[in-house]
Amino acid sequence: MPADAAKLPPFRKLPFKAPDIDVRRGENGVVYLSSRTPMGPVPRSIPHVLDERAAEHPDRPWLKQRTPNHGPWRAVTYGEGAKVTRSLAQALLDRGLGPDAPLLILSGNSIEHALMSMAAQRIGAPATPISMAYSLMSTDFAKLKHCFNAVQPKAIFVQTMDPFRKALATLPLEGVAVISADGSVGSEAFAKLAETPVTSVVDTAMDWLGPDSIGKYLFTSGSTGMPKPAPQSQGQMTAQIAARNALDQPLPDHDPNEVLQNLDWMPWSHISGGNVNYNGCLALGGTFHIDEGRPMPGLFETTMKNAAEVRPQYFGSAPIAYAMLAEAMEQDAAFRDAFFSRMKYMVYGGATLSDDIYDRIQALAIDSTGERIPLTTMYGATETQAVTMVHWELERVGMVGLPLPGQTLKLVPVGNKMEVRVKGPMVMTGYLNLPEKNKEVFDEEGFYCLGDAARFSDPGHPEKGLVFDGRVTEDFKLNSGTWVSVGTLRPDIVAACAPLVADAVVCGQDKAFVGALMWPSPAAMKAAMEAAGGDGAKAVGELTAKVAQKLAAFNATQSGSSRKVGRFKILTTPPSLDAGEITDKGYVNQRVAQDHRAGDVAALFAPDAAPGVVKLT
Q: What is the 3-state secondary structure (H, E, C) of 190-222?
A: HHHHCCCCCCHHHHHHHHCCCCCCEEEEEECCC
Find the mean pLDDT for residues 223-228.
75
User: Are 335 and 416 part of one and the same domain?
Assistant: yes
Chosen domain end from 444, 468, 492 = 468
The string of DSSP codes covering 208-270 is T--TTSEEEEEE---TTSS--EEEEEHHHHHHHHHHHHHTB---TT--TTPPPEEEE-S-TTS
How many domains in the chain?
3
Q: Which positions ≥6 away from 271 have C-beta within 8 Å?
A: 218, 380, 381, 382, 384, 385, 386
Domain of residue 559 covers: 476-615
Cα separation, 570 vs 246, in Å, equals 46
User: Are 502 and 461 part of one and the same domain?
Assistant: no
Asked if residue 265 belongs to a domain, the reply is no
Residue 209: CB atoms within 10 Å: 20
pLDDT tens digits along 468-515: 887 776 777 787 767 788 877 888 899 899 899 988 999 998 788 999
**φ, ψ dihedrals at 604, nearest 5°:** -60, -35
Asked if residue 291 belongs to a domain, the reply is no
Residue type, 426: M
- Mean pLDDT of the residues in the chain: 91
User: Are 449 and 498 part of one and the same domain?
Assistant: no
Q: Please report which helix (H) or strand (E) contains residue 375, including its range.
A: strand 375-381
Asked if residue 604 belongs to a domain, the reply is yes
- Tell me 7's DSSP state: G
User: Are 119 and 203 part of one and the same domain?
Assistant: yes
Write the CATH number for 395. 3.40.50.12780
For the question of whether the overall pTM of this predicted structure is more than 0.75, the answer is: yes
pLDDT tens digits along 509-563: 878 899 999 999 888 999 999 999 999 899 999 999 999 999 999 999 998 888 9
Q: What is the pLDDT of residue 511?
A: 86
Cα separation, 341 vs 307, in Å, equals 11
SS3 474: coil
| 383 or 414, which is more confident | 383
User: Are 335 and 198 part of one and the same domain?
Assistant: no
User: Are 454 and 517 part of one and the same domain?
Assistant: no
User: Are 373 and 481 part of one and the same domain?
Assistant: no
Highest mean pLDDT: which range of 69-78, 121-130, 529-538: 121-130
User: Are 227 and 152 part of one and the same domain?
Assistant: yes
Asked if residue 271 belongs to a domain, the reply is no
DSSP bridge partners of 448:
422, 442
User: Are 345 and 422 part of one and the same domain?
Assistant: yes
pLDDT tens digits along 152-185: 999 999 999 999 999 999 999 999 999 999 999 9
- Backbone dihedral region of 612: left (phi > 0), alpha (psi from -120 to 50 degrees) or beta? left
User: Are 510 and 420 part of one and the same domain?
Assistant: no
| 95 or 477, which is more confident | 95
User: Are 540 and 394 part of one and the same domain?
Assistant: no
Three-state SS across 433-456? Answer: CCHHHHHHHECCCCCEEEEEEEEE
